A and B are shown apart, each in its own frame.
Chain A
């Protein structure tokens, strides 16, 4: 589903050229749960931006479901982000002063889906992440874990091909982090492809495969041998 071939990313600031990604190649097939690990400055955020069609590589090609993302214009990239990718950010990034359900409806609004359908779908997704009773709360009225669950529901709104999570538990207490991981594993078991960036190995171990990055290069790529599973299920 995802095929990355020899991609590099160079940031040119004034006179200094920084090589953020250096000849990276890998493939991810549908249904995988992949963790991308690495110390800060290893290029994992850059990789995430490229995979999320937020940025394009300087060299190499990125194929997403058969489409060459590097050759698309702004609007086409916007559509890819809208329909094929669901983003989950470290800082949740919910719209301020906006209710949970409206946040979840937002990607569907940009896809031009009628309001009634949007509402129905958003309510269903919030139920799935255990927030049926918090639908009309705004971000500031929810805990970190609850906000992240709203963000997950929003990421799922357009039934995307992949979920891209950037340090999804970075700002969350460990108990709630477990809940988030449990949701991820449930989604993965239901067939969703998940790519998660993290620098914590115990979080990464919830994934089926771990890619280690260092200085913009892949240093290790393999299955997770001691995979953790969360059995507690979702608490609300």
Chain B
């Protein structure tokens, strides 16, 4: 057996009807291409989400109140009013809690903010100086809110870069200017660095004010709606979660954990949830792409069946000249494998190009998993064999006289 010869023969047969061969290959190109592109899209978004969550600190715990009650109607989680700055201080200072390094109580709400003729609806966070360390936030200019600002309910604000753009124009020097929040003029004392992120959790579209200012002057409340806790290390997350949980239960005079009026979430919980969501998303996309691959395979099978019918006489002749079944099977199987292999190769290039363009357009990290390329090669070869098998067998089982008589 000289393989170069059968391959040359197979290529010769495939080029006889270029249009038909081209269309069959196109089916595989689209199938393989969409698998690669969609898997890459899914993995890219997973990577983006993971990186974003990890950038918030991997030893971070977040305590939020569970849904409050308003006239017997349970409100959304986080809307309850039962966490206070005192709770935050207790977490930091209680002898029962040994694994906590720092605590940042926060009060967050959306509100309209104006500066001169510009205005924006943004997230205003009442924070303490600990916020910087706990939330791994850095300043690009100016200073952050100090303990003194908090004591004095100072009318100062630190802006995120997106808020600067919205209120003063892109790249404008905001420090020293003033913004109006809820009718109160606040002096801008600092701007944070850009942290990226998008959608409902844009970390750049924010304005920070002292917690006391937010509570008393802006929103009129005594509570906080989030306490961020920095544990000593990643290894003690579970212990920290337990310690904080029991401390708060005791402080809120609740006897058993099922009555807890708060949640404690770790970054890992959020990460796992996000990963499982994006994982499901990726699987769903790949499943859809796989369907188009199967359709492409059926296209190959269809073409091969037509070819077998067209070449019935040739098959009969080959058998009369001494071709065994396996010779005929090899010949036709090789043709379908060549079709799918060529389709697979172009499909990989097509898929990589498409995912690169998509990644650029929606500014997401561009990743091509070697495994998905390897899988595509394997699958396209496999499709050639699976969908080529039936036509090839059909050809090899033709009776030589019937085939020779066929007109």
Q: Verify B319–A93 contact, CB threshold 8 A.
A: no
**Shortest CB–CB separation between residue B20 and chain A, in angstroms?**
16
Given contacts A49-B401, A97-B16, A115-B2, contact A106 B325 (CB under 8 A): no
Inter-chain contacts of A14 with B (CB < 8 A):
none
B313 contacts A by Cβ under 8 Å: yes
When each residue 77-108 of chain A gets 1 if its CB lies under 8 Å from chain B and 0 otherwise, what string results? 01101110001010001011100000000110
A110 contacts B by Cβ under 8 Å: yes
Q: Verify A107–B322 contact, CB threshold 8 A.
A: yes
A22 contacts B by Cβ under 8 Å: no
For chain A, the count of residues having a C-beta within 8 Å of the partner chain is 27
Given contacts A54-B400, A93-B404, A97-B16, contact A110 B325 (CB under 8 A): no
Nearest residue, chain B, Cβ from A83: B322
When each residue 60-79 of chain A gets 1 if its CB lies under 8 Å from chain B and 0 otherwise, what string results? 00000000000000110011
A154 contacts B by Cβ under 8 Å: yes
Complex CA gap A107/B186 in Å reads 95
Complex CA gap A166/B232 in Å reads 95
A222 contacts B by Cβ under 8 Å: no
Inter-chain contacts of A109 with B (CB < 8 A):
5
Complex CA gap A75/B16 in Å reads 30
**Shortest CB–CB separation between residue A98 and chain B, in angstroms?**
8
Inter-chain contacts of B12 with A (CB < 8 A):
97
**Shortest CB–CB separation between residue A77 and chain B, in angstroms?**
9
Q: Verify B320–A54 contact, CB threshold 8 A.
A: yes
Inter-chain contacts of B323 with A (CB < 8 A):
78, 82, 110
Inter-chain contacts of B1 with A (CB < 8 A):
112
Inter-chain contacts of B399 with A (CB < 8 A):
55
**Shortest CB–CB separation between residue B170 and chain A, in angstroms?**
67
Inter-chain contacts of B180 with A (CB < 8 A):
none
Q: Verify B322–A78 contact, CB threshold 8 A.
A: yes
Nearest residue, chain A, Cβ from B317: A93
Q: Verify A81–B325 contact, CB threshold 8 A.
A: no
B135 contacts A by Cβ under 8 Å: no
Q: Verify B322–A95 contact, CB threshold 8 A.
A: no
Complex CA gap A82/B1 in Å reads 16
Nearest residue, chain A, Cβ from B16: A97
Given contacts A55-B401, A93-B313, A115-B5, contact A74 B321 (CB under 8 A): no
Inter-chain contacts of A168 with B (CB < 8 A):
none
Given contacts A97-B12, A115-B2, contact A107 B321 (CB under 8 A): yes
Q: Verify A110–B16 contact, CB threshold 8 A.
A: no
Interface size class of B (residues with CB under 8 A): 20 to 34
Complex CA gap A93/B312 in Å reads 12
B187 contacts A by Cβ under 8 Å: no
When each residue 294-336 of chain B gets 1 if its CB lies under 8 Å from chain A and 0 otherwise, what string results? 0000000000000000000110011111111101000000000
Complex CA gap A112/B322 in Å reads 11
Inter-chain contacts of A111 with B (CB < 8 A):
322
Inter-chain contacts of B321 with A (CB < 8 A):
81-82, 87, 106-107, 110, 154
Nearest residue, chain B, Cβ from A166: B404
Q: Verify A110–B317 contact, CB threshold 8 A.
A: no
**Shortest CB–CB separation between residue B399 and chain A, in angstroms?**
8
Inter-chain contacts of A97 with B (CB < 8 A):
12, 16
Inter-chain contacts of A79 with B (CB < 8 A):
322, 324
Q: Verify A81–B324 contact, CB threshold 8 A.
A: no
Inter-chain contacts of B5 with A (CB < 8 A):
109, 115
When each residue 365-407 of chain B gets 1 if its CB lies under 8 Å from chain A and 0 otherwise, what string results? 0000000000000000000000000000000000111001000
Q: Which of B2, B314, B324, B401 contacts A110 (CB 8 A)?
A: B324
CB-contacts of A174-190 with B (<8 A): none
Residues of B bordering A, CB below 8 Å:
1-2, 5, 12, 16, 313-314, 317-325, 327, 399-401, 404
Closest 6 CB pairs of A and B: A82-B322, A110-B322, A78-B324, A107-B321, A93-B317, A54-B400
Q: Can you sample 27 A-B contacts with CB below 8 Å?
A: A49-B401, A54-B320, A54-B400, A54-B401, A74-B324, A75-B324, A78-B322, A79-B322, A81-B319, A81-B320, A81-B321, A81-B400, A82-B321, A82-B322, A83-B322, A87-B320, A87-B321, A95-B314, A95-B317, A97-B16, A107-B321, A107-B322, A110-B327, A111-B322, A112-B1, A114-B2, A154-B321
- Contacts A78-B324, A82-B323 given; 11 further ones with Cβ under 8 A? A55-B401, A78-B323, A82-B321, A83-B322, A93-B313, A96-B314, A107-B321, A109-B5, A110-B324, A110-B327, A114-B2
